Amino acid sequence: MLLAVDVGNTQTHLGVFDRDNLLYEWRASTDAGRTADELALMFGQFLALAGLSFTRSITGVAISSVVPPATQELREMTLKYFGFPPLVVEPGTRTGIGVMTDHPREVGADRIANAVAAHEMYPNEGVVVVDFGTAITVDAVSGEGKYLGGAIAPGIDTSAAALFSATAQIQRVELVAPPSAIGRNTINSVQSGVIFGTASLVDGLIERVTQEMGGSEEGTVSVVATGGLAGTVVEHCRRVGHIEPMLTLRGLRLIFERNFPGVRAEADGVEARAGDKQGQQGAGPTFPEGCAGSRGI
């Protein structure tokens, strides 16, 4: 089984795959100060909820992270507790898509994983990926599987926090959609501005990106949304056709399989091997000749 880990600025999303199937998934707050041992404690508790452990069933770990200190601690944790190096999505990792930006090394690993999964969902089609996180990213992927670039805007919570901290008379409110766009009190006015305003921002960016991709007519380019806050806004967007909450994790699975195709085929024998090796560190993935551990290149 594969453990996929997506480390965002605010949340860390974990999922366990058996072949193509996502069996379990959990979310935790991201803390860049957690040590490898503290991460192991957290991961171990999640795995225990599913009847799994470091030495039982998990044969690979794939990581995307936009928090460098956490990335390093996750590397150490995986080596120490799983007994093998993780695949970290980074420059040089085989992903199966071309990155056509001016500075490919600057593109976040989560955006690459999203692009990989979106292209798998919509092969031979242009697709726009909207990720609702600490920041909102709107990314373009061509039908040929090339990541073209995108836009970055403040996320819902980020925008609201800036508003609350910079204004003396506006208090924090629950970030839900109000009854109407015309707020008749301060609470509803703030909710309208944040929720409906974000929806309009996203629709506007999708329209511009779609036009630049050559799909000026609605429907010629597919649009998929993901991210922990997608559900708050997407129902108020006119241009988002589909929500896939697990898009990043599914992208990590695809990237892992493209780097270590043999590991997937071992899934049927995992339980027997784990029983034979109780008390020992996990066998982990068998790295193809020429691959440099966590670099996957």
Distance of alpha carbon 33 from alpha carbon 247, whole angstroms: 27
Task: Please list the residues that pair with 15 across neighbouring strands.
Answer: 4, 25
Rounded to the nearest 5°, which phi and psi values hold at 284? 75, 180
The CA-atom distances, in angstroms, between 173 and each of 75, 82, 163 are: 39, 43, 11
197-212 and 156-166 are packed helices; what angle lies between their axes, rounded to 10 degrees?
130
Rounded to the nearest 5°, which phi and psi values hold at 70? -70, -35
Q: Taking the CB of residue 172, how many other CB atoms lie within 10 A of it?
A: 12
Token readout for 13 is 């999303």
Distance of alpha carbon 164 from alpha carbon 217, whole angstroms: 38
Distance of alpha carbon 161 from alpha carbon 169, whole angstroms: 14
The CA-atom distances, in angstroms, between 224 and each of 36, 50, 52, 209 are: 34, 29, 32, 13
Contact 114, 64 (CB under 8 A): no
Whether 276 is catalytic is no
3-state secondary structure of 59: coil
Distance of alpha carbon 61 from alpha carbon 265, whole angstroms: 15
Contact residues for 263 (Cβ-Cβ < 8 A; gap 6+): 2, 59, 60, 256, 257, 285, 286
Q: Which of 6, 110, 131, 139 is catalytic?
A: 110
Q: Which residues are catalytic?
A: 110
